[in-house]
Amino acid sequence: GMLRCNAQNRSKHQLGAIACTLYMMKSPLFALLLLCIAKFDFAEAFATQKSHLQHHNSKTAGRSSRLSATEEKNTEKEDKFSFQQRIESVKTAVVGAISGGIAATPFIGFHDIPLYGAATWEFDTDMGSLQSALFAIVNRYCVREEDDNEMLNMGVVGAFVVVRTLSRVRVPEYCTAVPLTCGSPLSYFDWNMIQQLALNGLESAALFGAAAVAMEFAYKKEFISKFPN
């Protein structure tokens, strides 16, 4: 009986010791459990944050690349219309005015001096030089770098020739209006007006043609540069 009682007491003490040990380990186990949960949450949060950060970086990189592309485009636009390009336009105007004015002077004199006098010849020559300078600037903007199309250059020259030729025709006083009738051979154009068309066309061709040839020569000698694309 004594042995059985001692055994029961020993069992109770062992159970109590186990319970006490478990009770004492409860806080560390709970802390360890919290640490594991926190570690898992932290790892998941870190992965999520890393993913968001990568996405943000990619968006930022894309935005930066777009900004860089925009800045490059703006820089190109600024380069096209920079102060240096204005200097080139001024040089182009000088080349056009001198070459066109010199080439057209004898043709304008042949037309103006017998009919209208030397004063008109001087005025038309001065205005022709100014027109040639404007033509040279427009031609430089139209026929740009890497444009090897000769028809484009000829088209610009032809447009200026036609406009100047038609604008200088003077309708004789004997013509009647509504509808315009001037006589033979075409009723609308008589021989006087056809002669004006021929003489003014010759002047204009010499004026703008010489300016175009002088510009090509200046391009080859690199005195002036073509406008960039």
Q: How far apart are CA 80 and CA 5, in angstroms?
A: 109
Quote the pLDDT of residue 161: 97
Mind giving me the DSSP string for 168-201? Answer: T----TT-BTTTTB-BTBTBSSBHHHHHHHHHHH
How far is 141 from 13, CA to CA, in rounded Å?
Answer: 106
Phi, psi of 35 (to 5 degrees): -65, -40
- Residue-level pLDDT at 153: 86
Mean pLDDT, 10 residues at a time, the chain of 229 residues: 50 52 45 43 48 56 58 58 87 95 94 92 95 95 82 92 95 93 93 94 96 94 88
Contact 227, 85 (CB under 8 A): yes
pTM of the predicted structure, to 2 decimals: 0.64
Q: How far is CA 98 from CA 85, 109, 176, 203, 207, in A?
A: 20, 17, 40, 15, 10
Q: 77-104: string of b/e by CB count within 10 Å (b at 16+)?
A: eeeeeeeebeebbebbbebbbbbbbbbb
